[in-house]
Amino acid sequence: MKRFRFGVLPVFSAVLCVNLFSFPALARDLLPNKTHAVLTVTFTNDQDVPQAHKKLTFVGQNDPNKRVTVTTDAEGEVTFHIPREETYTIYCESVTGPFDCGTSPYVSPTASTGGITVVFDDTRVELKGVNFKAGSAELEPESIEILDKAVAGILKNPLAHIEIQGHTSSEGGDAFNQTLSEQRAYTVFLYMTEKGVDRGRLSASGYGSSQPRASNATEEGRRKNRRIELRVLNEDEVQVEHK
């Protein structure tokens, strides 16, 4: 099985246009037909641990009506039919809702069977599309839809405790960026609590430019480093938070 790593770290939106379906069949119970190939997906976290009973949704980038939702088995795998002649955005379920966790290789017109590994850490999600005005903690209007989806996911998982993390690029100096990242995280905290999330389930932290996702030498890299992430706290961390 060929292996591609998709997910929030480090190649969140890579598009791999390769014919993944040219080698012998991986599925024993399904056969390709005139319109559909057979795809086997292995779903793991970033520690290579298989993720059982997780929902994945494949949505066609050219034709959104080409949509397939599947659930992994106890071994973190699932085999299914998928329409040909399409590249798919993959959405993974997390405690904060369904999020874009990668792009499938192109399923060619002659595709038969193949397999990929999707890697996604559902304890840490970047809220792609949550943006702020330059040098400010004021949300841009397009951020609201993304935040509302995250709130809906959090409300459906009442036992989850979430750390809201603010991150910046290196522009502006360490002290400025530390303060800005804290303010941006707190802005998201306030929005989520106003929308009904219990304050006791959330914390807001700023990390300034200390955890870059990419090089700060380019504008593209700096853009990637300006972000909000949600991290699901484990039980020990929750206890510390509430001491």
- Tens digit of each residue's pLDDT (9 = 90 or more) over 45-72: 878 899 899 899 999 999 999 999 999 9
pLDDT of residue 120: 80
pLDDT of residue 2: 38
Residues 7-17 have a mean pLDDT of: 29
Encode 2-39 in three state secondary structure.
CCCCCCCCCCCCCCCCCCCCCCCCCCCCCCCCCCEEEE
pLDDT of residue 229: 94
Residue 185 φ/ψ, nearest 5 degrees:
-60, -40
Note whether 5 and 91 are same-domain residues: yes
The residues facing 94 across adjacent strands are: 97
pLDDT at 1 over 80: no
**Cβ-contact 103, 87 below 8 angstroms:** yes
Q: CATH number, domain at 188?
A: 3.30.1330.60
Note whether 7 and 55 are same-domain residues: yes
Note whether 83 and 168 are same-domain residues: no
Number of domains in the chain: 2
pLDDT of residue 175: 97
pLDDT at 183 over 90: yes
Stated pTM of the model = 0.67
Helix, coil or strand: residue 207: coil
pLDDT at 79 over 50: yes
Of 122, 145, 160, the position where a domain reaches its end is 122
Note whether 154 and 215 are same-domain residues: yes
pLDDT of residue 97: 65
pLDDT of residue 237: 63
pLDDT at 13 over 70: no
Tokens of 44: 């793991």
Of 102, 122, 142, the position where a domain reaches its end is 122
| Average pLDDT of the chain to the nearest whole number | 83
Peptide bond connecting 141 to the previous residue in cis, omega within 30 degrees of 0: no
pLDDT at 182 over 50: yes
Quickly count: other Cβ atoms within 10 Å of residue 240's Cβ. Answer: 9
pLDDT at 170 over 80: yes
Tokens of 239: 């206890």
Note whether 61 and 111 are same-domain residues: yes
Of 122, 149, 181, the position where a domain reaches its end is 122
pLDDT of residue 72: 93
Task: Give pLDDT tens digits for 198-236.
Answer: 999 999 999 999 999 999 999 999 999 999 999 988 766
Note whether 92 and 197 are same-domain residues: no
Note whether 104 and 40 are same-domain residues: yes
Residues 6+ apart with CB under 8 A from 5: 11, 117, 119
Note whether 117 and 130 are same-domain residues: no
Q: Please report which confidence band the pLDDT of residue 20 belongs to, taking 50, 70 and 90 as the band edges.
A: very low
Note whether 105 and 37 are same-domain residues: yes
Note whether 92 and 145 are same-domain residues: no
**Cβ-contact 9, 229 below 8 angstroms:** no
Note whether 23 and 78 are same-domain residues: yes
Instruction: Give the domain range for residue 39.
Output: 1-122
Note whether 90 and 169 are same-domain residues: no
**Cβ-contact 166, 228 below 8 angstroms:** yes
Q: Are strands 113-119 and 36-44 parallel, antiparallel or unpaired?
A: parallel
Rounded Cα distance between 7 and 118, Å, is 7
